[in-house]
Amino acid sequence: MTSLPLSSLLQILAEELRSLAVTAEEMHHLVCHEHLARDPNYIRAVQKIDHTTQVLDNLSNFVSAVGEQTGDGWSVTIGPALDTIRLSELKQRLHKAEIDDVVANDDEGDLELFG
């Protein structure tokens, strides 16, 4: 299994978190209705969506900043971690990063996905 630079992995994770923050913010706008503003349960639910958005955005910035400070020589094997991902689109995005890294580091131009 190929190693992926840790900084690349952290950048991908930051982008995934940022995307989730945007999605959560969009959900916030979908459920905010003025006529429900007096219902305490509704207000708590909307506040939870807002809090989730903020946490995801903060985590995205944090992971990105950690990735920028990660040494160039640090890498991680992501194959066993990929096996824990059940969402196929997410797995493909993460696996694509590994494949891109293999292609970028392959001097002979051969790509071996299964070895």
CB 49 within 8 A of CB 27: yes
pTM to 2 decimals?
Answer: 0.71
Residue 114 has pLDDT above 70, yes or no: no
pLDDT band at 101 (very low <50, low <70, confident <90, very high): low
3-state secondary structure of 17: helix
Contact between 93 and 19 under an 8 Å Cβ cutoff? The reply is no
The 10s digit of each residue's pLDDT in 9-31 is: 999 999 999 999 999 888 877 77
- Average confidence score pLDDT of the chain: 80
Amino acid making up residue 96:
K
- Whether 89 is covered by a domain: the verdict is yes
Task: Kindly state whether residue 113 falls inside one of the protein's structural domains.
Answer: no
Structure tokens at 8: 């690349």
Using DSSP, state whether 29 is helix, strand or coil.
Answer: helix
Tokens read off for 32 = 């905010």
pLDDT tier for residue 37 given thresholds of 50, 70 and 90: low
Q: Exposed, middle or buried: residue 71 (CB in 10 Å: 0-12, 13-18, 19+)?
A: exposed
pLDDT value for 109: 47
Residue 58 token pair: 């903060």
45 pLDDT higher than 70: yes
3-state SS class at 37: coil
Number of domains in the chain: 1
Q: Judge whether residue 93 has pLDDT over 90.
A: no
